[in-house]
Amino acid sequence: MLEIKTLSKHFGGVRAVDELDFTVRQGEIFGLIGPNGSGKSTTVNLVTGIFPPTAGEIIFDGRDITTAQPHVTLDAGIARTFQNIRLFNNMTVWENLWVAQNSAEDKKATNLLSRWMGGSRKAKSQVEEYLEFSALADKRDELAGNLAFGEQRRLEVARALAAKPKMVLLDEPAAGMNREEVRALDERLRALKARGITVLLVEHVMELVMEVTDRIAVLNFGQKIAEGTPSEIQNNQAVKDAYLGTSGD
Ligand SMILES: Nc1ncnc2c1ncn2[C@@H]1O[C@H](COP(=O)(O)OP(=O)(O)O)[C@@H](O)[C@H]1O
Ligand SMILES: [Mg+2]
Cα angle 157-2-59, degrees, rounded to a multiple of 5: 125
Whether residue 67 is found in the same domain as residue 92? no
Residue 6 pLDDT level (bands cut at 50, 70, 90): very high
Residues 51 and 159 grouped into a single domain: no
192 and 158 co-located in one domain: no
**Are residues 16 and 67 both part of a single domain?**
yes
**Host H or E run for residue 80:** strand 78-80
- Residue 40 CA, ligand 2 centroid: distance in Å: 5
User: What is the tens place of the pLDDT at every residue in 48-75?
Assistant: 999 999 999 999 999 999 999 998 999 9
Residue to mutate (ligand 1; options 20, 36, 42, 80; most atoms within 8 A of CB)? 42
| Enclosing domain of residue 132 | 88-164
Tell me the mean pLDDT in the region 172-184: 89
Q: Domain total for the chain?
A: 2
Instruction: State the CATH number of the domain containing residue 200.
Output: 3.40.50.300
Q: Looking at the structure, tell me whether residues 172 and 157 fall in a common domain.
A: no
What is the pLDDT, as a whole number, of residue 117? 58
Q: Which residue type does 215 have?
A: R
**DSSP characters over 139-151:** GTTSBGGGS-HHH
Report how far ligand 1's centroid is from the alpha carbon of 15 (Å).
Answer: 9
Question: 31 with 135, same domain?
Answer: no
Q: Among residues of the chain, what percentage have pLDDT more than 90?
A: 64
Residue 84's SS3 state is coil
Last residue of a domain, one of 140, 164, 188: 164
Residue located nearest, by CA, to atom 8 of ligand 1: 42
In a domain, 136, yes or no: yes
Contact 87, 144 (CB under 8 A): yes
* DSSP letter string, 182-248: HHHHHHHHHHHHHTT-EEEEE-S-HHHHHHH-SEEEEEETTEEEEEE-HHHHHT-HHHHHHHHTSS-
CA proximity to 20, closest of 195, 211, 225 = 225
How many helices (H) and strands (E) are present in the chain, helices listed first? 11, 10
User: Could you say which of 144, 164, 184 is where a domain stops?
Assistant: 164
> Are 176 and 249 within one domain?
yes
What's the pLDDT tens digit per position in 208-240? 999 999 999 999 999 999 999 999 999 999 888
184 lines ligand 1 (CB under 6 A): no
Q: How far is 142 from 152, CA to CA, in rounded Å? A: 11
**For residue 159, what are the CA distances in angstroms to 70, 96, 178, 180?**
15, 7, 21, 21
Which residues have C-beta within 8 Å of that of residue 77, sequence separation ≥ 6? 60, 61, 164, 165, 166, 167
Do 154 and 195 have their domain in common?
A: no
Is 82 inside a domain boundary?
Answer: no
Higher pLDDT, 65 or 86: 65
> In this structure, is residue 83 part of a structural domain?
no
| 138 assigned to some structural domain | yes
- State the distance from the centre of ligand 1 to the C-alpha of 17, rounded, in angstroms: 9
Question: Same domain, yes or no, for 69 and 188?
Answer: yes
Q: Is residue 55 included in any domain, yes or no? A: yes
Ligand 1 contact, 175 CB (< 6 A): no
Determine, yes or no, domain membership for 2: yes
Strands 223-228 and 215-220, sheet pairing: antiparallel
154 pLDDT more than 70: yes
Q: Both 34 and 69 in a single domain?
A: yes
Asked whether residue 128 falls in the same domain as residue 103, the answer is yes
Identify whether residues 62 and 119 lie together within a single domain: no
Tell whether ligand 1 has an atom less than 6 A from the beta carbon of residue 34: yes
Please give the Cα distance from 27 to 229 (Å, whole number): 15
* Residue 129: pLDDT over 70: yes
With bands split at pLDDT 50, 70 and 90, how would you rate the model's confidence at 103?
low
Mutate to test the pocket of ligand 1, among 11, 45, 82, 247 (most ligand atoms within 8 A of CB): 11
Residue 9, ligand 1, Cβ within 6 A:
no
> What's the gap in Å between 152 CA and the centre of ligand 1?
24
Q: Indicate the residue among 132, 149, 164 that finishes a domain.
A: 164
